[in-house]
Amino acid sequence: MNMDELKASLDELSLKMTDKTSSGLSDELNNLVESSGKKFRPGLLFLTGSLLGLDTKGLTPFARAVELTHLASLIHDDVIDGSYTRRNTPTLNSLHNNTTSILAGDYVLATIMKELALTYKQDILIDLTIAIQDLADGEWLQYTLKKKDFVEKAELQEIAIKKTGSLIRWCLTTPGKLSNYHDVPVLAEVGEKIGLIFQMADDIVDAMETSGKPAYLDILNGQINFVTQKLCEIYPELKNGVYNLRQNPDSSIPWTKEQYFDAIKKVDEDINHEREIIIGHLTKICQEKQQNDLLPFFEMMIYKIQSNYHGMIHGS
């Protein structure tokens, strides 16, 4: 597989609802998928499948399933977070209301379950239901952390793996199971770690003013993330001020720009550490499968996760 083939596979991947609904719900969802994201998860699934010797065409139902599951989770997240735009596009809850948005997310999930059941790959379907359970559990855990006096790094890691890593894990283990790969657990570990660095990178971006959102939105919404947790770790004297800001978003920011940047650099170091483990595993698999030419594609996808904040760290 080369870049042109991967791009073509993603361009050909349809996310549209094929069943018509009396309410017009499917039409609303089809308008939404037209403005969907960059299909990172399907791309990772196609790439892993190619590495393990699978035909891309046969992976299409699974690539569609993971991207639509991600879409359903975003629809629900927008309700939970009270978001009115996503990628500068109005969310369903802003166009209608929370009730219809929850129903739309449920409809997408039901569609995925039906389509995957028709592939007669019960173990793959079960794995996706486990990933969806993890999504819900991770969201619940994140909510409970808002009430804790102090948040540990391990707790943030668990939430990141459940909320973000679970679907990415499925992107790697699905081709692994379909190809009867001998070490599916290592594929699962790679997927979870990619999800972990995805969330850590997103927490760094939280300090930037993007898409009309203010900086430090997580802490202003009562949520400790990897950067503010690291800030408290390396500057213990800031802990009370950080947690006061979590409870009282109108209070003054207790850290200096230099202190916050120090925390960002430390989180970036953690990301690089996880990335080395990921690339180490993928290198061994590429060598085993005599597919060394695919390793740069994996490296590029992982680099893209960091590219959103790269300029902040390196001044470019």
Quick one: CATH architecture of 3-308? Orthogonal Bundle (1.10)
The whole-number pLDDT of residue 36 equals 65
The tokens for 33 are: 């998928």
**pTM of the entire structure?**
0.93
**pLDDT interval class at 175 (50, 70, 90):** very high
pLDDT, residue 87, reads 61
Stretch 8-22: mean pLDDT: 89
Evaluate if residue 21 carries a pLDDT over 80. Answer: yes
What SS3 class is residue 316? coil
In the predicted structure, residue 212 carries a pLDDT above the cut 60? no
Domain ranges of the chain: 3-308
Segment 31-57 mean pLDDT: 89
Q: State how far the alpha carbon of 7 is from the alpha carbons of 106, 157, 175, in Å.
A: 29, 31, 18
Mean pLDDT of 233-256: 94
Kindly tell me if the per-residue pLDDT of 116 is higher than 80: yes
Q: What is the mean pLDDT of residues 130-158?
A: 94
Phi, psi of 213 (to 5 degrees): -90, 140
Mean pLDDT, the chain, rounded, equals: 90
Of residues 19 and 128, more confidence is placed in: 128
Q: Stretch 49-72: mean pLDDT, rounded?
A: 94
DSSP state letters, 53-100: T--HHHHHHHHHHHHHHHHHHHHHHHHHHT--EETTEE-HHHHS-HHH
pLDDT of residue 155: 97
**pLDDT for 292-301, tens place per residue?**
999 999 999 9
Tens digits of residue pLDDT in 78-94: 777 666 666 667 677 76
The arithmetic mean of pLDDT across residues 265-275, rounded, is 96
Cβ distance 298 to 47 under 8 Å?
yes
pLDDT digits (tens, 9 = 90+) for 178-201: 999 999 999 999 999 999 999 999
Helix ranges (DSSP H) in the chain: 3-12, 25-33, 40-51, 56-81, 92-95, 98-117, 122-145, 153-160, 166-178, 184-205, 217-220, 226-234, 239-247, 257-288, 295-314
